[in-house]
Amino acid sequence: MNTIISPKTESFVLTEQDITFIQNVAKKIFDTGLVTPAVFFLEMTKPLSLLGSHFLVFFGPIINAFIRAENYYRATELMEEPKNVERLIQEIEKLEQANSKPQLERQSLKELKNNQFWIGAGIVIALLMVYYLIGHPFFLSNRTVMLFAILLFSGTLIYYTRLAESGESFFLRDIPGLKAVEEAVGRSTEMGKQVLYVPGIMDMDQVETVAGVIVLGHVAKMTARYETPLNVPVSRAIVMKAGREACRESYLMEGRPDLFQDDMVHYLTDDQFAYAAGVNGIMVREEPAACLYMGKFYAESLILAETGNSIGAIQIAGTASQSQIPFFVTACDYTLIGEEFFAASAYLSQKPELLGGIKGQDMLKAMIVGVILIGSALRVFHDFGWISWDFVNFLTVQ
C-alpha cells in the first residue's frame, strides 16, 4: 500500500533524506530572497498543512505533467505534518541568520531587495491584470482617472525611492526648522533644562500623529546622545504606547537604555482644553528650554505656543493643520509648514529611501503644476467653444 495514503502514526520519523530535502527546499526559498513572505505564508498555513498536502496529492498528476519534480509525493507526505513545516521555517530562519548582512557573499543586500521588489511588483501587476481580464467586477469606472493618478503617483514615488537606494544623491534645500531641532536640544542641554515634545492632540489614525511620533524618535536620539531630559505629555493612550516604543528604540540605538524611563511619555487627558491646560502647567512649572510641537493641532495651538513664548523657550512647530499654521508662524521661532513636516523624518534620518521619496514628491508637484497650466488652457478653449472636450469635468472625481 502506498505510504502516502496510509494512516499516519504518532511517531513519524524523519529520515536523513527527508532532512536533506527540507534543507534543500529552505535553501531554494532563501535564494529567491522571499524569506519574509515565505515564512509568513508557512506560519499562516501550518495548521492547514494536512488539507494542503491532500490538495497537492489530488492535483499531483496534473502538476507532474508540467513539472518533473522528483519525490513530489514524498514532499507532500512530509508537509502533511505541521512539525515538518515548522522544521522548514526553522531551516529558512537559520539560513537567514547565518547569512546576515555583514556576511553576505553570494548576493548583496541590494540585489536581494531588487529581487524582492520585482517579484512583488510582478505579483501586483499580475493581480491587476487578472482582475481586469475577469471583467473587473464591481469596479467603479467613473473613478478610472483617479486610479490612474494614484498608480502614476505611486510609481513616481517608488521610482525615486529606488533611485535613491541605488546610490543617486539628490539636492534638498535646507529647512531652518529642522536644522534648529538639534540646536534646540543643545540649548536645553546647556541650560540643564528639559525638552518638551507635544505630538499633537489626535490619535494614531491621523497621518500627522504618526509623523509626529516618528520625529519624536529622532529627537529622542538627540536627547539620549546629549543626556537631556525629555518630557512627552500625550493626549491619547495609543500614542503613549507608540511614543514609548519609539523613544525606547532610540535610546537603545544610542547605547543609553539606562537613561530611558517609561514615564518620559505620559498620558494627560483626551479632552482638548484640559490637555492644553495640563501642558501649560508643565511649561510654567518645569520651564523647558525647548518646546517642540509636531502633530495635529486645533484651537489649543495658540494657547500652547503663547505660553511657551512667555517662558522664553525656543519653539519649533510642525503641523499639516492648515488653520493652525498662522498661529504657529506668529508665536514660534521656527515652523514646518505642511509637507516640510512630513519631510522631517527624511531630513533627520538622512535615509536614502526617504530622501528619494521627497524628490518623488517634488516631481509630483511639478506634474500637478503642468496639469494645472494645461488644464487651464484647455478649459479656456472649451469655454470659447474651440474644443468640445471639458478637461475639468474629465478630472473631476465622481
Q: Enumerate residues 208-227 that contact other proteins by CB under 8 A.
A: 210-211, 213-214, 217
CB of 258 to other proteins, least distance (A): 18
- Whether the CB-CB separation of 329 and 293 falls below 8 Å is answered with no
Residue whose grid cell is 518638551: 196
Please say which residue, 183 or 306, places its beta carbon nearer to other proteins: 306
DSSP 8-state symbol, 9? P
Please say which residue, 51 or 238, places its beta carbon nearer to other proteins: 238
Return the residues of window 106-125 that contact other proteins according to CB under 8 A.
none
Please say which residue, 80 or 208, places its beta carbon nearer to other proteins: 208
Q: Does 318 bind other proteins (CB under 8 A)?
A: no
CB of 390 to other proteins, least distance (A): 21
Indicate the angle between helix axes 237-253 and 207-226, nearest 10 degrees: 40
Burial of 184 (0-12, 13-18, 19+ CB in 10 A): buried
DSSP 8-state symbol, 202? S
What phi and psi, each to the nearest 5 degrees, are found at residue 106? -70, -40
CA 46 – CA 36 distance, rounded (Å): 15
Question: Within 299-397, where are the H helices?
Answer: 300-310, 325-331, 339-342, 344-349, 352-383, 391-395
Secondary structure, 3-state, 324-343? HHHHHHHHCCEEEECHHHHC
CB of 223 to other proteins, least distance (A): 16
| Residue of 182, 11, 142 whose CA lies nearest to 83 | 11
Return the residues of window 7-36 that contact other proteins according to CB under 8 A.
36
Return the residues of window 335-354 that contact other proteins according to CB under 8 A.
337-339, 341-343, 345, 349, 353-354
Q: Does 302 bind other proteins (CB under 8 A)?
A: yes
Q: Does 306 bind other proteins (CB under 8 A)?
A: yes
Among 46, 87, 248, 296, binds other proteins (CB under 8 A): 248
Please say which residue, 9 or 141, places its beta carbon nearer to other proteins: 141
Return the residues of window 276-295 that contact other proteins according to CB under 8 A.
276-277, 281, 285
CA 179 – CA 301 distance, rounded (Å): 22
Report residue 222 CA to chain centroid gap.
22
CA 83 – CA 42 distance, rounded (Å): 12
Return the residues of window 250-279 that contact other proteins according to CB under 8 A.
253, 263, 266-274, 276-277
| Residue of 274, 268, 264 whose CA lies nearest to 194 | 264
Q: Does 172 bind other proteins (CB under 8 A)?
A: no
CB of 245 to other proteins, least distance (A): 5
Please say which residue, 31 or 249, places its beta carbon nearer to other proteins: 249
Residues touching other proteins: how many (CB under 8 A)? 81
Q: Does 163 bind other proteins (CB under 8 A)?
A: no
CB of 113 to other proteins, least distance (A): 11
